[in-house]
Amino acid sequence: MTDKTVSIDIRKDLFGANEAAASINADIFRKHGLKTFDIMGSVGTGKTLLIESLCIRLAGKYRILMVAGDLATTIDADRVASHGVDTVQINTGTACHLDARMVRYALREIDLGKYQLMFIENVGNLICPAGYPLGVDKKIVVLSITEGPYMVKKHPLTIKRSDMVVINKIDLADVLEFDVDALVNDVREVDAKLQVFKVSSKTGDGLDELIDALEL
């Protein structure tokens, strides 16, 4: 029988390695003067349309790069590319989130000096992407009122780990009889200081306020 047991916290180890990789990314992004945002949220919350809408508004001001994380398809990257934005696809296969090393690997042959702004669309998943910093300026979680009223209550950790919350598809609030302010209050209960934006990527409602808050 051994008198020494070494226990390894695999989760801590994994997360620690990612944090280190994220800080290398942050240095690289900073060196290139790149503003960077990680857009997280479930499948169908409108992450891609939000990025498209922001790109359309900001294309005159910045050279933009979009990185699309997806299990298998290039649908999102193709949509954003249709607006003349350069895109990089990361197909994660079975991985349900992007991590910092995946992002760096995907960008290894890209001349980041050509760009001033980068949006990363994370894999559609409300849970683990928030736990993996990518080295970006802000992690933004996109919620959609079509997901029902309990997204914040059921995912407080994701909210806590985000720098900003976007409540999307507010144009549907009346039809769905959805109390958007109640969802805002749920966010405030998790973190009273977190910025929350009510947005419709479709109609453009709230986008100017969001762009101001992103200092873009």
Interface residues with Zn ion (CB under 5 A) are 96-97, 128
Instruction: Choose among Mg ion, Zn ion, none what residue 76 binds, the Cβ cut-off being 5 to 8 Å by kind.
Output: Mg ion
End-to-end Cα separation, the chain, in angstroms: 62
Q: Of these, 48, 87, 122, 200, which contacts Mg ion (CB under 5 A)?
A: 48
- Closer to Mg ion at the Cβ: 121 or 186? 121
State the minimum distance, in angstroms, from the CB of residue 19 to Zn ion. Answer: 16
Q: Are 142 and 48 in contact (CB under 8 A)?
A: no
State the minimum distance, in angstroms, from the CB of residue 17 to Mg ion. Answer: 27
- Closer to Zn ion at the Cβ: 128 or 211? 128
- Which residues, 6 or more positions from 123, have their beta carbon under 8 angstroms from its beta carbon? 69, 70, 71, 92, 95, 96, 97, 98, 129
- Closer to Mg ion at the Cβ: 76 or 99? 76
Residue 201 interacting with Mg ion (CB under 5 A): no
Residue 168 interacting with Mg ion (CB under 5 A): no
Residue 47 interacting with Mg ion (CB under 5 A): yes
- Closer to Mg ion at the Cβ: 18 or 48? 48
- Which residues, 6 or more positions from 82, have their beta carbon under 8 angstroms from its beta carbon? none
State the minimum distance, in angstroms, from the CB of residue 98 to Zn ion. Answer: 9
Q: Are 57 and 207 in contact (CB under 8 A)?
A: yes
Q: What is the CA radius of gyration of the chain?
A: 18
Count of CB atoms situated within 10 Å of the CB of 138: 16
| CA-to-CA dists, residue 25 to 47, 101, 108, 158, angstroms | 22, 8, 11, 21
- Closer to Mg ion at the Cβ: 48 or 125? 48
Report the site for Mg ion in 62-121 (rule: CB under 5 A). 76
Tokens of 136: 């970006």
Binding residues vs Mg ion (CB under 5 A): 47-48, 76
